[in-house]
Amino acid sequence: MSINITLVIQGLAFFAVAWLVMKFGWPNMIAAIEERQKKIAEGLAAADRAKAELAAADNQAAEEVRAARIKAAEILDKANHQANAAIEKGKSDAIAEGNRQLATARAEIDSLSHRAKEELRKQVGQLAIAGAEKILKREIDAKAHTALLDQLASEI
């Protein structure tokens, strides 16, 4: 055998295998490569969409947190106002109750003072009558005694 025929047969075999690979194998490999590229591109697009959605979700969460803080501040402010109002109402009620008790105590003091003055007037009247009785050395009847006591009490 000659080197030329072997070389020609090997060349023909090479070209036949190359043609078979290009005819049947190459399109399948190109399709697999293109499909892989498409999946990678879709994955990258999905990642970009996810980043955008995450950024939007972060913005929305920040907005909700800000709104919640504002609402919490409003609730706290309202609670402080209500507490202050309750304290002021309690103070005014306590002052009113104190004034009422003071007025009651003053009225009771006035009443006791008036009774004490009346009792003192009666005692002074009785002492005056007793003194007058001793001076006059005579007995006064009960009606005259009562009338005299009333007259002295009214004069005093």
Q: What is the Cα–Cα distance from 57 to 11, expressed in whole angstroms?
A: 64
Distance, CA of 71 to CA of 55 (rounded, Å): 24
List, for residues 29-74, the tens digit of each pLDDT value.
Answer: 899 999 999 999 999 999 999 999 999 999 999 999 999 999 999 9
Min mean pLDDT across 53-62, 83-92, 141-150 is at 141-150
What pLDDT, in 10s, does the model give residues 48-57? 999 999 999 9
User: What global pTM score does this model have?
Assistant: 0.44
Residue 140 is predicted with a pLDDT of 57
Burial label, 84 (beta-carbon count in 10 A; 0-12, 13-18, 19+): exposed
Could you give the percent of the chain with pLDDT greater than 70? 85
What pLDDT does residue 119 have?
A: 85
- The Cα 27–Cα 96 span in angstroms is 100
Report the C-alpha dihedral over residues 17, 18, 22, 25, rounded to 10 degrees.
50
Contacts of 3 (CB under 8 A, 6+ apart): none
Q: Select the more confidently predicted residue: 118 or 2.
A: 118
Task: Say how far apart CA 65 and CA 59 lie, in whole Å.
Answer: 10
Closest CA to 124 of 93, 153, 88: 153
Q: What is the mean pLDDT of residues 93-104?
A: 90
Q: How far is CA 28 from the centre of its chain?
A: 70
Is the pLDDT at 107 greater than 60? The verdict is: yes
The token duo for 116 is: 């004490």
For residues 23 and 45, what is the distance between their CA atoms, to the nearest angstrom? 33
Task: Give the Cβ contact number of residue 125 at 10 Å.
Answer: 20
Say how far apart CA 16 and CA 117 lie, in whole Å.
146
